[in-house]
Amino acid sequence: MRAFSTREVAELVGKSQERVRYVARAGFVSPEKTPGGRYRFSFQDLVLLRATKTLEGSAPSSRSMWRALRAVRDQLPPGRPLSSVRVIAADGRILVREGDSAWEAETGQTVFDFAKAHVAGPISSVSATHKLVHADTAEYWFDRGLRFDRAGSHDAAAACYRRAVSLERSEVNSRINLGRLLHDRGSLDEAETLYREALRIEPDNAVAAFNLGVVLEDQGKLEAALASYRCAVLADPELPDAHYNLARLYEFSGDADSAARHLTRFHALTRERSE
């Protein structure tokens, strides 16, 4: 399995080399040491450090965040990487999500009816136009649904997207957005059907392929999810979340080289967008 130097880790996770060394000295990650005293980090160390980047600013404190992440790592079976679950901050707590289950990181207590945070989750299809079309057309109902969606009125948005789909069999964006809303509610089968319909209409739609990957992953169909994420990257090589999810699944499957390649690409893309 490939090992990463302190410099490589710092570049990949967006932290200073001194901060990476501090984290290692504090025991938050467990890199090996060369005879010369240099750290060599595993891919799992990278995933743990990447998780801190996502959680910073949302966790109650830095200390509680690290304590929770170490607890998660200890709760997983031997050989099971941290990248196989999703760690999120919600309501002042660090939660772990795996499929439809969730639990509090430090206590292991199951959490019911919690709101899923967005961690490389399904993506909304964005409208290219904001004009109002005063007619009973798919375009009108998609635009109306998008406005309800952005306002948080998801039931009304779903009804509008359904109307758009009923009026236009080739309507892709409404299928994607309706699929996302159903996906977030836990209606995984119906969401999968909508994403697949969107791809039949528009095979090169990167958002539909990515969202299909997420819903397949949430159903535990990891090989199918991996294939779908690959399709998303082929359709749009600059989709950061697809590279990140590919990195997680490749690492989980034991393909460290592919995991490292996609994680590197993910960080390159996120750096470009922040500049």
Distance CA 62, CA 274 (A): 23
Q: What is the pLDDT of residue 132?
A: 39
Distance CA 128, CA 131 (A): 10
For residue range 30-54, list pLDDT tens digits in order: 788 888 888 888 877 777 777 666 6
Domains of the chain by range and CATH? Answer: 6-104 (1.10.1660.10), 138-274 (1.25.40.10)
* Contact predicate 14/53, CB 8 Å: yes
Question: pTM value?
Answer: 0.59
Distance CA 4, CA 29 (A): 13
Q: What is the pLDDT of residue 21?
A: 84
Distance CA 178, CA 149 (A): 10
| CA dist list (Å): 107 to 27, 68, 110 | 20, 9, 9
What are the strands, taking DSSP E only, across the chain? 32-33, 39-40, 86-90, 93-98, 101-104
Residue 129 has pLDDT above 70, yes or no: no
Q: What is the pLDDT of residue 84?
A: 64
For residue range 3-16, list pLDDT tens digits in order: 788 888 888 777 78
Q: What is the pLDDT of residue 161?
A: 93
Q: What is the pLDDT of residue 116?
A: 43
pLDDT bracket for residue 164 (50, 70, 90) = very high
Residue 174 has pLDDT above 50, yes or no: yes
- Long-range Cβ contacts of 182-190 (<8 Å, 24+ apart): 182/158, 183/121, 183/122, 183/211, 183/214, 183/215, 183/218, 184/116, 184/121, 184/122, 184/154, 186/100, 188/215, 188/218, 188/219
Residue type present at position 108:
G
Residue type present at position 131:
K
Of 180, 170, 175, whose CA–CA distance to 123 is shortest?
180
In this structure, what token pair is assigned to residue 107?
């206590």
